[in-house]
Structure 1
């Protein structure tokens, strides 16, 4: 089968389209999926630059997010049959094959039926960011109706679904953006207050909008100075949740004085650490999101759909930053 293969670390040009052996079902609970589209996430570019998460090393096929059609089922599969349309987050970290390919084999327990209202490209854009946002807001942040959430980079992959999930739960949402186009985008998604951080930062504006209290939770998907500055924008006894490694040199005194809970969200942990129940819980999240999407109260924004052969270009675009929504590779593009 055709796949985008990573054989050495480096710039996007190291990604090459090759013919590799087609995966086969080895366990009775596995399904084989014809991949119609694969989401492209920042973690893919980091693996390409820094190396895979597992000991197996290279070569590797990247891409955690996939959407496609079940073509074969193991003898013990009970939830799927050939012809079912599915979406999932599985593989792509090294060892287990990712989704920049024509076919994938995965256990049925880590897969979910695709929202009927979505095409394959939009479905492939969703799993990683939806599960990440859900786990951050409701798992780490314990957010409930009436609380205030600050979402950094609200027009980005995680940010744009975090806004919607929070609004569905009755949470007041503040969000940061860098330009007018993004401001209009997040406003359409339901953000209550939009802060253009290029016009003087965000701390003072957050404090003004919360009457000096700060946000009950801040969701950081940017890192660096944004994480550090977010300490002063978080309410006392609030939650500062980041998707990234804050790095060294953080001044923690104000976080301690505010009694903040510092949380981390890495939705890939269950796959990296082989935590089957946690993976089942994530599939439940994805199933709930599918219902919300089909009911019309949640959408996944796709910025651009490229053919698999243009994976190099997709990685360049991701690394440029500033994108609204998600990028997708498709066998149908």
Structure 2
């Protein structure tokens, strides 16, 4: 399978640079721990990187027809933002039950929202594409999207050349695929670990089985980390098998506690999906290598009620 390369990611960095915020490494409350706050992006998550790169790579005719995707919220916001920037129409198919704050933001960026049962999101996106001629830009199963997300890895190594451990959330695997590709190419000795909820640990199972393992929606829907309920694709699995050093899982209690800790001690707002990487460092340190560690905070589009609950812990 044709995997994304470091050159692909460097080219993506040139494309996304004018639109994407180059997030800093924020020192945490522990020595040797930094947070990469992608929550500070204009759309509140890392997804903007992949969306901007994918839209920039479309030919002018395809761009004029527009784009469509399926998303629980963050990729939908990112694609809507990227499409609006170039004047392209955008439709986002959103699973029922997604956080209202994310749905409202997608609409605010000018995209049409189509709500469907979670199991029908991909089918509906394909129907819209067939009816309108719009190009599907999937949340993670796309080389241009993976390359865009990989620009995070470039920045981590540039800002902390002697980084020992990088912790990355895993849902569909696009972020982890891109970050692992960049970090391993630039610093092979660095350990790159994916982190996912115990209640949606399909990536762990997929890596163990050597093939994509799909957890049914009624299982993954139990986790508060709504952005991590998706399963890997053959493309992202191939990247993770080649470049990721392993998977760590965290509990719902640990995720919620980390959301609260980030707000109180780092003054950073994280959604549950965005907090899982740091949760691994805080609660599963015995499972991790020692050394200078960066945890990617992938998004901050949190429902106010969820944040309030986390702060009460």
Q: TM-score range by the shorter chain?
A: 0.3 to 0.5
Which structure is higher in helix share?
A: 2
Structure with greater Cα Rg: 1
TM-score (norm 1): 0.33
Q: Which structure has the higher relative contact order (CA within 8 Å, separation 6+)?
A: 2
Which structure is higher in strand share?
A: 1
